[in-house]
Structure 1
Amino acid sequence: MELGISTFAETLPDPHTGETITHAERLRDIVEEIEMADHVGLDVYAVGEHHREDYAVSAPEVILAAGAARTSSIRLSSAVTVLSSDDPVRVYERFAMLDGISGGRAEIMAGRGSFIESFPLFGYDLNDYDALFEEKLDLLLQLQKGGPIHWSGRHRAPISGLEVFPKPEQEALPVWIASGGTPDSTVRAGKLGLPLVLAIIGGRPQNFAALVELYKQTAAQSGHRIESLGIASHSHGFVWDTDEEAADLFFPSTRQGMNKVGSERGWGNYTRRSFDIARSEKGALYCGSPETVARKIIDLRKNVGIKRFLLHTPLGTMPHDQVLKSIRLFGEKVAPIVKDEIAQWEGR
């Protein structure tokens, strides 16, 4: 069982003071958060890509490279790389460089992206949303194999017998498929035998067990070994000394972040009641004491089959010292409980 942190590097106004952190300050904070996650022995740190005012990271591999120079063990991933609006060759080259800097710790989490600002920014037609991802993923996987590339498609110039440099430290750069929970993306990952990351940010996490089973069945039917498949989830959360303290600290920024996105997507108002339901035993918010958060992750492993869990923290803007403490508690308190119980459970 692997445990890690993910962030979208939000730069929303502080819900208490109204002050907005600068992009530059948030970037520097993230480097320290990566360093803390590595220090407390977490397995992975993942950073999302966005192209809008309220997020600080447009190129995850750049901030991850800064973190790589100050860490030694933690794996470094995007969450996600919006592959549809990027050039797979440039993506591969940049992550190969990150892999070299980090000594073989880079990963790519490829997705279509739930935000669409990058499409008009880079000149892509949203009508090609699905076709772009499928074609560019195909090219990225060709690049992953190494050697001279022979490839052609509709949305990019062909490549005939060329190699891409630099080469990564790892034999092959890991490529994960990110899914918001649709059967189509789950089936795609299963057919290709690629590790899958599910964004579980609402409802009951146990309901995703059916998608995981679909993924496994599809992979097996496509000739892939189920035992070797990576299955991960990403959920909002925050760890503090007690359940109530964690809730009181995490709710203001969570409400602000959820209502900001919700206002653009037609969601209902996010209230304290919404928050408390989500942080309950069966909800998708992993907010509470180390024991509470650990128990929910253990249940996710046992009932859904997740092998890697990413705690998305913070959601919105929170004081940097609180974020660092939450990461420290996650690594020092939550991780040992989870890993010890899972090891005992699977060893029976």
Structure 2
Amino acid sequence: MELGIGMFGDVSKNKTTGKHSSPHQRIKEIIEEIKLADQVGLDVFGMGEHHREDYAVSSPEMILAAAAAVTKKIKLASAVTVLSSSDPVKVYEDFATLDLLSDGRAEIMVGRGSFIESFPLYGYHLSDYNVLFEEKLDLLLNINKNEVINWKGTVRAPLTNQRIFPRALNNGLNIWIAVGGTPESVIRAARLGLPLIIAIIGGYPYQFQPLVRLYKEEYQKYGHDVSKMQIGIHSHTFVGENSEQTADSYYPYYADQMDRIGRDRGWPPFRKEQFEGGRKKEGALFIGDPSEVADKILYMHELFGLTRFVAHIDVGGPEHKDIMKAIELFGSKVAPEVKKHLKK
């Protein structure tokens, strides 16, 4: 199983002044954090796309390109690219360029968009939410497979005998479908034979077992090679030396971000009881000491048969030094423990 780090580029908010911390500084810190993730032997790094004041990164491919120059082995992925409001030709060109820069380490995780700020920003209508994703995914997969493109849809101009350059290495990019839990999205990924990654950030992970079973059944039904099946989850994570101290120090950052997002979505205020419930074995938060986090990842492997786990570790914008420590512990203690048990 691959283990990696995911980030959205959260910037913290000063409760006294009401101002967010500097995106300039946060972006520089992210590059240092990706470099460390590579140095401690992690398999993948994923960078999210957002268009909000509380996130520093609107263009994952820019961050990943900078990271390509300071890393050697780690895979570099978007997590996610909001494909519905992006142009598939530009997405492919950007990530093919990243692939060349990184000697074949680029990946794309595409999603419909749980954050919808990009739709009005780029002139798209939410009423077209589903058709935008379906058609643009079809075009992106076409480009990834073929150098000469003949394509026609309803959401953008057709392409007739168009050649797309540059081309990615190794017969194309690995393109994952990122989902939040809808059966339709899972079936789409299975029908197309694409890797599936599920964002599990609340509730009880075992509740997602029917979706994973559905994916596996549909994947086989459509005749895809089971040996190539890839299934991952992306979950909120933070690792420290001491479980309770880590939870207590991280909780204010986490709760503050949950409340900021919650105000936009009509959620009630985030409570400490929710946080502690999520930290339990059956919960969706991977927050604690290395042993706890490793045991919980192994539990997820039992539930789903995972091939990848992505630890989203910057929710709420904790301090850079604490993120660096979390990455170091995840790479030096959590990942080796998980892989040791999986080899038995």
Q: Provide the residue aligned with 1:265 in structure 2.
A: 265
Cα RMSD of the aligned pairs, angstroms, is 1.2
Paired letter, 1:212: V
Aligned length: 344
How many Å separate the matches in 2 of 1:240 and 1:18? 28
Q: CA deviation at 1:286?
A: 0.1
Q: Provide the residue aligned with 1:212 in structure 2.
A: 212
Instruction: Give the 3-state SS of the residue equivalent to 2:108 in structure 1.
Output: strand
Q: CA deviation at 1:98?
A: 0.4
Structure-to-structure mapping, 1:45-56, within 5 angstroms: 45-56=45-56
Q: CA deviation at 1:20?
A: 2.6
Q: Provide the residue aligned with 1:231 in structure 2.
A: 231
Instruction: Give the 3-state SS of the residue equivalent to 1:11 in structure 2.
Output: coil
Structure-to-structure mapping, 1:95-244, within 5 angstroms: 95-244=95-244
1:12 maps to 2:12:
yes
Q: Which moved more, 1:29-38 or 1:7-16?
A: 7-16
Instruction: State the Cα deviation string for residues 27-69 of structure 1 (Å, max 9, x = none).
Output: 1111011001000000000000011111111110100010110
Q: CA deviation at 1:19?
A: 5.7
Instruction: Give the 3-state SS of the residue equivalent to 2:302 in structure 1.
Output: helix
Q: Provide the residue aligned with 2:23 in structure 1.
A: 23
Paired letter, 1:244: E
Paired letter, 1:162: Q
Instruction: Give the 3-state SS of the residue equivalent to 2:292 in structure 1.
Output: helix
Instruction: State the Cα deviation string for residues 131-180 of structure 1 (Å, max 9, x = none).
Output: 00000000000001022101000011111111111111232111000000
Instruction: Give the 3-state SS of the residue equivalent to 1:232 in structure 2.
Output: strand
Q: Provide the residue aligned with 1:275 in structure 2.
A: 275
Q: Which moved more, 1:245-254 or 1:332-341?
A: 245-254
Instruction: Give the 3-state SS of the residue equivalent to 1:114 in structure 2.
Output: coil
Instruction: Give the 3-state SS of the residue equivalent to 1:3 in structure 2.
Output: strand
1:35–1:67 Cα contact (<8 Å) kept: yes
1:14–1:317 Cα contact (<8 Å) kept: no
Instruction: State the Cα deviation string for residues 171-205 of structure 1 (Å, max 9, x = none).
Output: 21110000001111001100000000100001111
Instruction: Give the 3-state SS of the residue equivalent to 1:46 in structure 2.
Output: strand
Q: Which moved more, 1:301-310 or 1:330-339?
A: 301-310
1:3–1:309 Cα contact (<8 Å) kept: yes
1:15–1:252 Cα contact (<8 Å) kept: no
Paired letter, 1:175: I
Instruction: State the Cα deviation string for residues 42-99 of structure 1 (Å, max 9, x = none).
Output: 0000000011111111110100010110000000000100000110000000000000
Instruction: Give the 3-state SS of the residue equivalent to 2:65 in structure 1.
Output: helix
How many Å separate the matches in 2 of 1:16 and 1:322? 22
Q: CA deviation at 1:10?
A: 1.1
1:294 maps to 2:286:
no
Q: CA deviation at 1:16?
A: 8.8
Paired letter, 1:251: Y
Q: Provide the residue aligned with 1:328 in structure 2.
A: 328
TM-score of the two chains, using structure 1 as the length reference:
0.97
2:12–2:318 Cα contact (<8 Å) kept: no
1:99–1:170 Cα contact (<8 Å) kept: no
Q: CA deviation at 1:208?
A: 1.3
Paired letter, 1:293: V
Q: CA deviation at 1:17?
A: 8.5
Paired letter, 2:98: L
1:3–1:44 Cα contact (<8 Å) kept: yes
1:209–1:305 Cα contact (<8 Å) kept: no
Q: Provide the residue aligned with 2:339 in structure 1.
A: 339
CA, structure 1 residues 15+191, in 2 after alignment: closer, same or farther (shift >3 Å)? farther
How many Å separate the matches in 1 of 2:5 and 2:301? 17
CA, structure 1 residues 70+339, in 2 after alignment: closer, same or farther (shift >3 Å)? same
Instruction: Give the 3-state SS of the residue equivalent to 1:317 in structure 2.
Output: coil
Paired letter, 2:148: P
Q: Provide the residue aligned with 1:91 in structure 2.
A: 91
Paired letter, 2:191: K
How many Å separate the matches in 2 of 1:37 and 1:251? 23
2:68–2:101 Cα contact (<8 Å) kept: yes
Query: Structure 1 unaligned runs (5+)?
Result: none
Give me the identity figure in percent. 51
Q: Provide the residue aligned with 1:247 in structure 2.
A: 247
Q: CA deviation at 1:226?
A: 2.2
Q: CA deviation at 1:227?
A: 2.5
Q: Provide the residue aligned with 1:311 in structure 2.
A: 311
Q: Which moved more, 1:79-88 or 1:18-27?
A: 18-27
